[in-house]
C-alpha cells in the first residue's frame, strides 16, 4: 500500500509541475519565445498571493488578482521588450532568450527589494484528504484540479477559438497569417499575457505547498523547461505526460533511492529523452 | 572547508590581488597609541540580497551595542566608530570592501559579515592584513582553521547547536531518533553533533536520511521516516526544508513525539507552520530569562531602537561587539596584536554567555539552550535546571 501512496503522491506532484509548465509551453512551445523569466512570474505571483493573504484576502481571490496583474505585466513586457526585438526567427529566439534572462534578474531583484529574500509560504489548505489507508495533500489536490482546468482551457482556446488558432497560425507563418488579415502583434500580446497569468496561477499553488523566495525563481524555470521538453514543445498532452512522469519518477526514486537521487531524476530523464526521443515523448517520430 | 566557502575565499583573494593592495600593518598604526580619536571598527553586513533579513538583524545588533557602549563612555575613554557597509550578500563585494578597510589602514579592528560563506573570505583578508576580526554569525569551524586573527564570538559551532536533543529526549523517555539532513556541510555538521549526542545519551539512531539542497518535495522522505517509526525526528535543515518536511510528515499522518529543527527560532517557522509549530523544539543562544551580562539593557534598547522583538542573530552580533570592546579594554590599547591576543586568551561576559575560544578561535564558552513553542512563545526546556526553564509539553 505504501507504494500506491508513493505513486499517487507522484501524480499529485506531476499535476503541480504541469501547472508550472503550461504558461511556458504556450509562450515557448507555441509562440517560440524562450522566456527565461517564467520562474520569476511564478514566484512573483506566489508572493503576491502571500501578501494578499497576509492582508486577509482569500487565496482564491488573490489568485484572480495576481493573474490579472501578471497578465498586465506580461503584456507590458511583450510590448516594451519582446516585440521590439528584430531579426530572423533564429536570431529572434536567441535575442529573446538573452532579453528574458536579463528580465528575470530584474524581476527577481525587484521581488527581493519588495519582499526581501526570506522564504514565504501560507498556512492554507494544509490538511490531508484521507481515503482508506491513503492520504493526499489537499493543496496538491487543488493544484491538480487547477492544472487540469487551465490545461483544458488553453487547449480549447488554441484549437477551438479564432484567436487561439490565429495565434498558432502566426507562430507557424507570420507572413501567411498577416496575409489572412491576422494582427500578429495583438495576438502575441495576448499570448504572452496568458502565459504570464498562468505562471502566476502556478505561483499561488506553489506558495501553498512550499516556501518560496524571489531568488528561487530560476529553479522553477528549469523544472518547467524539463517538463515541456519531455512532452514536446507546444504539445499539451505531451506536457501532461511529461509532468506526471517527472512527478512519479521523483517520488518513486526518492522513496527507493533517497532524496539526493530524487533531485537529479528529472534532469537524467531529460538527457535520456534528448538522446532517444528529442522531439518529445509523444512525438510520432524522432526529429533530428 | 565547504565548496562554497572555498569559492568565496577564491573570489575574495582574487579581488585582493586585483586591487593591488600592499601588505598589512605590522605596528597596528591605526590607533595603536593612546588618543582621543574614536576607535574605528570596520564591518560589512548584508542589507540587500539573499541574506538581507539576517544581515539586518546583525546590523541592528552591531549598531545597538556600539551606541550603548558609547553612551556608557566608550572604550578606554574613546568612542567607538562603526564603519558599516552593505555587502549586498555578495562575496566579491565583501572582498572589495574589507580590502578598502584594510588597505587604507584606517580601522583598528573588524567585525564579520553575515554567515560562513561571506565570513570565510573576510577572514582571509583579516589574516593577510593581520587585523583582529570578531565573527558574529560564522558557524563553520573550517573558516577558522589555520587562522590567527579570527575568533568566533557571536555563536557556537553548528556541531553543538542541537547536540543536546538526545539528552533532552532521553530525559523525557524517548530514545529512538531519526536524523534528516540537507547535504550542505553546515547542516550535516548539525546532524553529526546530534549523532554523537545519541551515543552519549544511550539512544538509538533509527535512520539518517540525507537530501539534496535543491529538494522541494518531501513526501517520499516523510514516508521513509514514518517506516522507521522513530520517537524523535531531528531536521538538520534550512528553514524552507524544515517547513516542507514538517508539513509532509503531518500530511502523511506521521507525528513523532519530538520534532527539532535548528531553524525553529526563525519567525518564519512559526508563521508558516501555524499550529504545526506548537511544541516543536529549537535552540537559541539568547533568552532574557537566562540573565546573562547586559541582557536587560540589550532587550530594552532593541525594543526602543527597532520596535521589534530581539532575535538570536541580533543577540549574537551584540555579543560580538561586547567581546571586541572587552578585548580592547583588556589589551589597554588598540594595538592589533595586543587586541588579538586578548581575543584569543580572554574570557568575557556577554548577553549570550561567557565567551572563550580554543586555539583556532572557535567558540567553546557558550552553551545553547533548547526551547519549545508553548502557547505561541519560546519557552526554555533544556537544560531543565537552567534559570527560567519550564517542563516540556510532549508528545509533539
Residue-wise pLDDT for A70-89, tens only, equals 999 999 999 999 989 887 77
Instruction: Give the mean model confidence (pLDDT) for residues B293-310.
Output: 92
Question: What is the DSSP track for B36-86?
Answer: SSPEEEEEEE-SSSTTHHHHHHHHHHHHHHHHHHHHTT-BTTB-EEEEEEE
Res A94 pLDDT > 90:
no
Instruction: Give the mean model confidence (pLDDT) for residues A15-29.
Output: 88
**pLDDT bucket at A285, cuts 50 / 70 / 90:** low
**Which span out of A12-16, A210-214, B12-16, B330-334 was modeled with the highest average pLDDT?**
B330-334
pLDDT given at position B49: 74
pLDDT given at position B215: 87
The ranges assigned to domains in chain A are 2-276
- Phi, psi values for residue B116, rounded to 5°: -70, -35
Q: At what angle do helices A236-257 and A138-160 cross, to 10 degrees?
A: 160
Q: Is the dihedral of CA B283, B284, B287, B291 positive or negative?
A: positive
Average pLDDT, chain B: 89
DSSP E strand boundaries for chain A? 128-131, 134-137
> What does DSSP assign to residue A108?
H
pLDDT given at position B54: 84
**pLDDT bucket at B311, cuts 50 / 70 / 90:** confident
Return the minimum-mean-pLDDT range out of A178-182, B151-155, B375-379: A178-182
pLDDT given at position A164: 86
Res B295 pLDDT > 90:
yes
Residue A129: CA count within 13 A, CB half-sphere: 12
**pLDDT bucket at B22, cuts 50 / 70 / 90:** very low
How far apart are the CA of A189 and the nearest CA of chain B, in angstroms? 32
Residue-wise pLDDT for B211-257, tens only, equals 988 888 899 999 999 999 999 999 999 888 999 999 999 999 999 99
Res A243 pLDDT > 90:
yes
CATH class of A2-276: mainly alpha
Question: Are the CB atoms for A170 and A187 separated by under 8 Å?
Answer: yes
How far apart are the CA of A99 and the nearest CA of chain B, in angstroms? 22
Q: What is the CA radius of gyration of chain B?
A: 21
Question: Are the CB atoms for B341 and B149 separated by under 8 Å?
Answer: no
Instruction: Give the mean model confidence (pLDDT) for residues B93-103.
Output: 95
Dist CA A61 CA A68 (whole Å): 11
Return the minimum-mean-pLDDT range out of A59-68, A89-98, B61-70, B149-158: A89-98
Q: What is the dihedral of CA B319, B321, B322, B327, to 10 degrees?
A: 130
**pLDDT bucket at A219, cuts 50 / 70 / 90:** confident
Q: How many other β-carbons are positioned within 10 Å of the β-carbon of residue A125?
A: 17
Question: Are the CB atoms for B320 and B134 separated by under 8 Å?
Answer: yes
**pLDDT bucket at B21, cuts 50 / 70 / 90:** very low
> What does DSSP assign to residue B260?
E
Residue-wise pLDDT for B67-86, tens only, equals 999 999 999 999 999 999 99
| Interchain contact A127–B (C-beta under 8 A) | yes
Dist CA B146 CA B283 (whole Å): 29
> What does DSSP assign to residue A137?
E
Res B340 pLDDT > 90:
yes
Q: What is the dihedral of CA B99, B100, B102, B108, to 10 degrees?
A: -140
Res B293 pLDDT > 90:
no
| Interchain contact A260–B (C-beta under 8 A) | yes
**pLDDT bucket at B35, cuts 50 / 70 / 90:** low
Q: Classify residue A176 as exposed, middle or buried by CB count within 10 Å of its CB (0-12, 13-18, 19+).
A: exposed
Omega cis (within 30) before B142: no
Nearest CA in chain B to A122: B272
Average pLDDT, chain A: 88
Length reported for chain B: 396
How far apart are the CA of A100 and the nearest CA of chain B, in angstroms? 20
Dist CA A125 CA A141 (whole Å): 10
> What is the grid cell recorded at B189?
555538521
> What is the grid cell recorded at A101?
534572462
Question: Are the CB atoms for A233 and A28 separated by under 8 Å?
Answer: yes
pLDDT given at position B1: 47
- A251 interaction partners in chain B (CB closer than 8 Å): 217, 219-220
Dist CA B211 CA B216 (whole Å): 10
Go through the domains of chain B in sequence order and give each one's CATH number: 3-156+292-355 (3.40.50.2300), 160-284+369-382 (3.40.50.2300)
Q: What is the dihedral of CA A234, A105, B273, B173, to 10 degrees?
A: 100
Task: Please indicate whether, in this complex, the C-beta atoms of B212 and A117 are within 8 angstroms of each other.
Answer: no
Question: Are the CB atoms for B141 and B165 separated by under 8 Å?
Answer: no
pLDDT given at position B29: 44
Res B259 pLDDT > 90:
yes
Dist CA A132 CA A130 (whole Å): 6
Kindly report whether the global pTM for this prediction surpasses the value 0.90.
no
> What is the grid cell recorded at A262?
530524487
Task: Please indicate whether, in this complex, the C-beta atoms of A262 and B212 are within 8 angstroms of each other.
Answer: yes
- B211 interaction partners in chain A (CB closer than 8 Å): 258-260, 262-263
- A220 interaction partners in chain B (CB closer than 8 Å): none
pLDDT given at position B106: 85
H-helix or E-strand containing A154? helix A138-160
Res B14 pLDDT > 50:
no
What residues does B209 pair with on adjacent strands? B180
Res B31 pLDDT > 90:
no
Least CB-CB distance to A9: which of B219, B250, B274?
A: B219
How far apart are the CA of A132 and the nearest CA of chain B, in angstroms? 12
Pairing outcome for strands B369-374 and B377-382: antiparallel
pLDDT given at position A284: 58
Dist CA B261 CA B370 (whole Å): 10
Q: What angle do CA A129, A131, A133 make, to 5 degrees?
A: 115
Amino acid at each position: 500500500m505504501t507504494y500506491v501512496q508513493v505513486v499517487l503522491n507522484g501524480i499529485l506532484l506531476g499535476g503541480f509541475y504541469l501547472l508550472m509548465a503550461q504558461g511556458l509551453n504556450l509562450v515557448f512551445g507555441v509562440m517560440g519565445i524562450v522566456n527565461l523569466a517564467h520562474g520569476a512570474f511564478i514566484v512573483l505571483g506566489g508572493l503576491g498571493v502571500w501578501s494578499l493573504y497576509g492582508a486577509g484576502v482569500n487565496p482564491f481571490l488573490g489568485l484572480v488578482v495576481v493573474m490579472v496583474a501578471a497578465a498586465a505585466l506580461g503584456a507590458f513586457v511583450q510590448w516594451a521588450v519582446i516585440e521590439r526585438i528584430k531579426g530572423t526567427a533564429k536570431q529572434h529566439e536567441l535575442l529573446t532568450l538573452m532579453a528574458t534572462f536579463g528580465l528575470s534578474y530584474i524581476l527577481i531583484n525587484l521581488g527581493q527589494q519588495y519582499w526581501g529574500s526570506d522564504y514565504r509560504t501560507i498556512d492554507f489548505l494544509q490538511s490531508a484528504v484521507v481515503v482508506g489507508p491513503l492520504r493526499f495533500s489537499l493543496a496538491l489536490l487543488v493544484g491538480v484540479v487547477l492544472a487540469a482546468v487551465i490545461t483544458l482551457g488553453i487547449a480549447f482556446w488554441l484549437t477551438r477559438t479564432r484567436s487561439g488558432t490565429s495565434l498558432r497560425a502566426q507562430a507557424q507563418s507570420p507572413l501567411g497569417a498577416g496575409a489572412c488579415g491576422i494582427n500578429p502583434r495583438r495576438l502575441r500580446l495576448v499570448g504572452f499575457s496568458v502565459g504570464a497569468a498562468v505562471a502566476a496561477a502556478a505561483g499561488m499553488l506553489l506558495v501553498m505547498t512550499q516556501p518560496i523566495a524571489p531568488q528561487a525563481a530560476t529553479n522553477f524555470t528549469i523544472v518547467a523547461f524539463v517538463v515541456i521538453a519531455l512532452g514536446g514543445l507546444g504539445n499539451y498532452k505531451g506536457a501532461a505526460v511529461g509532468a506526471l512522469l517527472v512527478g512519479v519518477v521523483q517520488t518513486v526514486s526518492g522513496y527507493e533511492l533517497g532524496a539526493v537521487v530524487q533531485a537529479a531524476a528529472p534532469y537524467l530523464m531529460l538527457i535520456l529523452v534528448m538522446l532517444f526521443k528529442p522531439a518529445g515523448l509523444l512525438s510520432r517520430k524522432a526529429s533530428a | 572547508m565547504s565548496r562554497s566557502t572555498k569559492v568565496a575565499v577564491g573570489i575574495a583573494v582574487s579581488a585582493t590581488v586585483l586591487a593591488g593592495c600592499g601588505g598589512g600593518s605590522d605596528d597596528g598604526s591605526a590607533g595603536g597609541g593612546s588618543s582621543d580619536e574614536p576607535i574605528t571598527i570596520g564591518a560589512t553586513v548584508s542589507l540587500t540580497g539573499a541574506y538581507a533579513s539576517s544581515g539586518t538583524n546583525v546590523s541592528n545588533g552591531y549598531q545597538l551595542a556600539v551606541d550603548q557602549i558609547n553612551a556608557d563612555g566608550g572604550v578606554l575613554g574613546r568612542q567607538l566608530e562603526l564603519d558599516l557597509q552593505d555587502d549586498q550578500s555578495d562575496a566579491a563585494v565583501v572582498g572589495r570592501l574589507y580590502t578598502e578597510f584594510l588597505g587604507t589602514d584606517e580601522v583598528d579592528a573588524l567585525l564579520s559579515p553575515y554567515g560562513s560563506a561571506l565570513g570565510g573570505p573576510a577572514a582571509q583578508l583579516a589574516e593577510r592584513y593581520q587585523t583582529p576580526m570578531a565573527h558574529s554569525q560564522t558557524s563553520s569551524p573550517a573558516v577558522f582553521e589555520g587562522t590567527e586573527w579570527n575568533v568566533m564570538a557571536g555563536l557556537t559551532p553548528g556541531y553543538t547547536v542541537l547536540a543536546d536533543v538526545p539528552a533532552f529526549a532521553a530525559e523525557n523517555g524517548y530514545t529512538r531518533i531519526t536524523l534528516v539532513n540537507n547535504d550542505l556541510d553546515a547542516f550535516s555538521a548539525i546532524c553529526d553533533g546530534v549523532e554523537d549526542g545519541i551515543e552519549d545519551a544511550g539512544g538509538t539512531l533509527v535512520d539518517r536520511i540525507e537530501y539534496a539542497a535543491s529538494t522541494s518535495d518531501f513526501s517520499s522522505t516523510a514516508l521513509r521516516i514514518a517506516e522507521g517509526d522513530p520517537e524523535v525526528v531531528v531536521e538538520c535543515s534550512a528553514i524552507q526544508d524544515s517547513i516542507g518536511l514538517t508539513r509532509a510528515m503531518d500530511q502523511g499522518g506521521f507525528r513523532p513525539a519530538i520534532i527539532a529543527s535548528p531553524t525553529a527560532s526563525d519567525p518564519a517557522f512559526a508563521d508558516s507552520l501555524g499550529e504545526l509549530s506548537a511544541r516543536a523544539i529549537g535552540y537559541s543562544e539568547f533568552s532574557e530569562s537566562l540573565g546573562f551580562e547586559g541582557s536587560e539593557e540589550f532587550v530594552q534598547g532593541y525594543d526602543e531602537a527597532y520596535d521589534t522583538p530581539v532575535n538570536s542573530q541580533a543577540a549574537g552580533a551584540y555579543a560580538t561587539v561586547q567581546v571586541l570592546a572587552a578585548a580592547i579594554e583588556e589589551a589597554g590599547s588598540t594595538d592589533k596584536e595586543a587586541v588579538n591576543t586578548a581575543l584569543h586568551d580572554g574570557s568575557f561576559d556577554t548577553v549570550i554567555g561567557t565567551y572563550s575560544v580554543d586555539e583556532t578561535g572557535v567558540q567553546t564558552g557558550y552553551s545553547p539552550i533548547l526551547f519549545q513553542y508553548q502557547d505561541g512563545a519560546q519557552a526554555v526546556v533544556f537544560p531543565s535546571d537552567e534559570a527560567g526553564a519550564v517542563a516540556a509539553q510532549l508528545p509533539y
